[in-house]
């Protein structure tokens, strides 16, 4: 019974000294010895005990720490806001007992627990510095780092020092494949009729379509115009009249294949640009006369990779394929400028290492036919074909752009081979006697560089894929 009574009295005494919900620690102030720094977590309490009784106590900044006396030897210190202040203790005779430096820091105990719950696999060290939080260690990705910093700002707004390092591979090689197939078919069928009649000093002539060259006379024969392709001319003379029939039939077919595979490497979060082509001069008229501006064309690539989580990559990219189109021209002050044919895509995708996306696909099919004829005469059955011209054309094109990102890391330079390493300049005997344009290869015979040298020109150079 005596032990039970003692335990009950101790419990009542503790409840009367420490308020409910406060976290109490004790710091003993010894007479004649310097006092250390008293660290008080924000919104938590610390009990300070003095070796001798004090008569007066004060704090320099009550907004940082709040104090209250429990007895003439005990002080209750509550942290209110992060900062550093001084607490002064005076003896009954007015002499100074000690000055205690009170540093109120953010409560990182709960913050550490939340980090362990939300990101259990991340090795993040949390410290307090003055009135802020310092994060250090190695973290797996930028996304995890942003989450940790955002959570720390909940406990110390705008007072978070981010010293985290991102582990893993943070370099991204983007492999882009531009593939375009174009096919065109055009057919032309036309017929023309021409005649010249002469009698004495009088003569007359006529034509339809694109038959004549415009130089017919009573003394000249009917001739076709320049540039006529696939032409068949039939004619003869009846008395003083020369009659000719011209048939033109032409079919044109064409296939164009465009293939480009640019590879470009950039650090996570950094922009990379690529252009394989050239610049076309364009004259521009202004008050000072004619100036020249250059417009780039070719294969253009611009992207910003972000490694967000392990091997997951957020990719913001813009790709374009352009070329000079000489079929459409514009003339200005004696200059002739060609137009441009351009296909462009801009998008943001998210994919993992080695995965691919077809970010742009274009299937275009253009059809056109044209019939030109002499009014009324072209509508005559059968014979009307002599007064009619028919053109038919069809153009088809398909463009696909496929992107594939890879996480890459640098390799030893001795294991790399260049296309120029495989060819050496021919000797005079090789060139003049044997007609060789190169003198053979000089690639290494053994080692890692030799293995790379066995690759064809489409191999990877400068970086290796993990």
- Compute, in degrees rounded to 10, the torsion defined by CA atoms 353, 320, 279, 336: 170
Specify the pLDDT at position 225.
Answer: 59
SS3 188: strand
Rounded-to-integer distance, Cα 419 and Cα 283, Å = 38
- The number of residues making up the chain comes to 466
Helix (H) or strand (E) holding 67: strand 65-69
Query: Which of these ranges, 202-206, 244-248, 279-283, has the smallest mean pLDDT?
Result: 202-206
Strands (DSSP E) contained in 106-240 are: 123-129, 132-139, 160-166, 171-199, 202-207, 231-238
**Tokens read off for 10:** 């101790």
**333-372 per-position pLDDT tens digit:** 677 888 888 888 888 988 888 888 888 777 788 888 888 7
When computed from its CA atoms, the radius of gyration of the chain, rounded to whole angstroms, is 45
**106-146 per-position pLDDT tens digit:** 778 888 888 888 888 888 888 887 778 888 888 877 778 88
List the chain domain ranges: 34-105, 108-166, 181-254, 256-369+394-408, 419-454
Helix (H) or strand (E) holding 363: strand 357-373
- Residue 116 DSSP symbol: H
Helix (H) or strand (E) holding 400: strand 388-409
Fold of 34-105: Immunoglobulin-like (2.60.40)
Specify the pLDDT at position 29.
Answer: 61
Residues 397-405: what's their mean pLDDT? 86
**Tokens read off for 41:** 């977590």
CA distances, 181 to each of 85, 260, 347, 365, 396 (Å): 76, 12, 23, 12, 8
Give burial (CB, 10 Å; 0-12/13-18/19+) of 277. Answer: middle
Rounded-to-integer distance, Cα 440 and Cα 343, Å = 41
Does 456 score more than 60 pLDDT?
no
Rounded-to-integer distance, Cα 178 and Cα 143, Å = 31
> Maximum Cα–Cα distance for the chain, whole Å?
158
How far is C-alpha 12 from the chain's CA centre? 67
Give burial (CB, 10 Å; 0-12/13-18/19+) of 418. Answer: exposed
Specify the pLDDT at position 10.
Answer: 45
Rounded-to-integer distance, Cα 357 and Cα 347, Å = 11
Q: Strand pairing partners for 403?
A: 176, 357
SS3 130: coil
The pairs formed by 364-367 with CB atoms below 8 angstroms and a separation of 24 or more are 364/395, 364/396, 364/397, 364/398, 365/394, 365/395, 365/396, 366/394, 366/395, 366/396, 367/393, 367/394
**Tokens read off for 428:** 């005079």
**% residues pLDDT > 90 (the chain):** 1
Question: Is the distance from CB of 87 to CB of 116 less than 8 angstroms?
Answer: no
Give burial (CB, 10 Å; 0-12/13-18/19+) of 128. Answer: buried
Specify the pLDDT at position 462.
Answer: 43
Does 23 score more than 50 pLDDT?
no
Tell me how crowded residue 357 is: count the other CB atoms within 10 A of its CB: 16
Does 150 score more than 50 pLDDT?
yes
Buried b (16+ CB within 10 A) or exposed e, 181-199: eeeeeeebbbbbbbbbbbe
- Predicted TM-score of the model (pTM): 0.54
HSE-up of 33 (CA within 13 Å, CB side)?
9
| Distance linking the first and last C-alpha atoms of the chain | 74
Tell me how crowded residue 290 is: count the other CB atoms within 10 A of its CB: 12
Rounded-to-integer distance, Cα 303 and Cα 264, Å = 9
**217-262 per-position pLDDT tens digit:** 444 455 665 666 667 777 777 777 777 777 777 888 888 777 788 8
Fold of 108-166: 3.30.1340
């Amino acid at each position: 019974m005596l032990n039970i009574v003692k335990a009950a009295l101790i419990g009542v005494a503790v409840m009367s000294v420490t308020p409910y919900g406060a976290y109490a620690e004790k710091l003993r102030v010894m007479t004649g010895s310097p006092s250390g720094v008293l660290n008080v977590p924000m919104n938590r309490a610390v009990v300070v005990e003095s070796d001798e009784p004090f008569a007066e106590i004060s704090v320099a900044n009550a907004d940082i720490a709040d104090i209250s006396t429990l007895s003439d030897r005990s002080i209750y210190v509550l942290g209110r806001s992060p900062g550093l202040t001084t607490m002064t203790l005076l003896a009954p005779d007015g002499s100074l007992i000690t000055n205690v430096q009170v540093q109120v820091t953010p409560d990182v105990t709960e913050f550490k627990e939340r980090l362990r719950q939300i990101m259990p696999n991340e090795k993040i060290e949390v410290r307090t510095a003055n009135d802020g939080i310092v994060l250090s260690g190695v973290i797996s990705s930028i996304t995890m780092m942003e989450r940790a910093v955002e959570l720390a700002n909940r406990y110390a707004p705008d007072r978070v020092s981010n010293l985290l390092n991102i582990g893993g591979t943070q370099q991204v090689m983007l492999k882009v494949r531009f593939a375009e197939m174009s096919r065109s078919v055009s057919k032309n069928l036309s017929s023309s009729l021409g005649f010249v009649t002469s009698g004495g000093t009088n003569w007359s002539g006529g034509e339809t379509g694109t038959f004549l060259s415009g130089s017919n006379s009573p003394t000249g024969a009917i001739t076709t115009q320049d540039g006529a392709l696939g032409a068949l001319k039939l004619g003869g003379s009846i008395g003083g009249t020369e009659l000719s029939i011209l048939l033109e039939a032409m079919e044109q077919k064409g296939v164009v294949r465009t293939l480009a595979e640019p590879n470009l490497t950039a650090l996570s979060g950094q922009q990379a640009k690529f252009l394989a082509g050239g610049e076309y001069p364009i004259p521009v008229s202004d008050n000072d006369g004619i100036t020249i501006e250059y417009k780039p064309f070719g294969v253009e690539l611009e992207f910003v990779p972000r490694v967000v989580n392990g091997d997951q990559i957020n990719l913001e990219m813009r790709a374009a394929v352009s070329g000079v189109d000489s079929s459409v021209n514009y003339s200005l002050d004696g200059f002739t400028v060609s137009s441009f044919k351009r296909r462009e895509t801009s998008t943001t995708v998210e994919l993992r290492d080695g995965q691919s996306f077809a970010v742009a696909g274009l299937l275009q099919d253009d059809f056109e036919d044209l019939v030109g004829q002499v009014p009324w005469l072209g509508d005559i059955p059968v014979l009307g074909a002599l007064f009619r011209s028919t053109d038919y054309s069809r153009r088809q094109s398909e463009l696909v752009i496929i992107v594939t990102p890879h996480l890459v890391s640098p390799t030893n330079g001795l294991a790399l081979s260049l296309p120029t390493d495989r060819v050496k300049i021919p000797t005079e005997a090789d060139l003049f006697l044997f007609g060789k344009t190169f003198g053979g290869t000089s690639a290494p015979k053994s080692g890692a560089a030799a293995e790379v040298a066995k690759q064809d020109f489409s191999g990877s150079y400068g970086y290796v894929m993990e």
